[in-house]
Amino acid sequence: RSSRAPAQRTPQPIRQLTRADLPALQQLYDQQSEVVFSAELFPQSLFFGASDGGRVIAAGGTHALTPAYQVAVLGHILTAPEARRQGYAGAITAALADTLGQRQFSTIVLNVFADNQPAVRVYARLGFQAVHKMVTGRATLLT
């Protein structure tokens, strides 16, 4: 992370999201079927995003924060289709990493599908490195 490139400027400012943003944040995530977002976890999380006219158009946050071990897991990084390719994912991820670094989190991780090349490029530009390859798939519990 020390060799991180500065994040791109975005048309709308990036800011930390609050409880007041929850309905708009939920709307953003509801647009994407593969994103599972639980508003119940928001109080224990850290989220940044950008809004346009009261609508959250890009956001990202933490899946887990473990201050005792200085580990943070980033996730839910999503940009609405009409706001893509404007630097939001990079700026939000950079804001998260900067804030977590200031809070003494020494390990910041995230998962990304290898075929999501736009996201892979954003994270690599910010200094994230692939450490493990993860295989995912559907499973059926047989009873």
Residues 24-55: tens digit of each pLDDT: 999 999 988 777 788 888 899 999 999 998 89
Nearest to 57 by CA among 86, 94, 18, 96: 86
Structure confidence at residue 1 (pLDDT): 40
pLDDT per residue, tens digit, the chain (143 aa), is 434 445 568 889 999 999 999 999 999 999 887 777 888 888 999 999 999 988 999 999 999 999 999 999 999 999 999 999 999 999 999 999 999 999 999 999 998 888 888 889 999 999 999 888 777 778 888 88
Distance CA(90)–CA(4), nearest Å, equals 11
Distance CA(7)–CA(50), nearest Å, equals 14
Residues 108-117: tens digit of each pLDDT: 999 888 888 8
Structure confidence at residue 48 (pLDDT): 97
Burial label, 45 (beta-carbon count in 10 A; 0-12, 13-18, 19+): middle
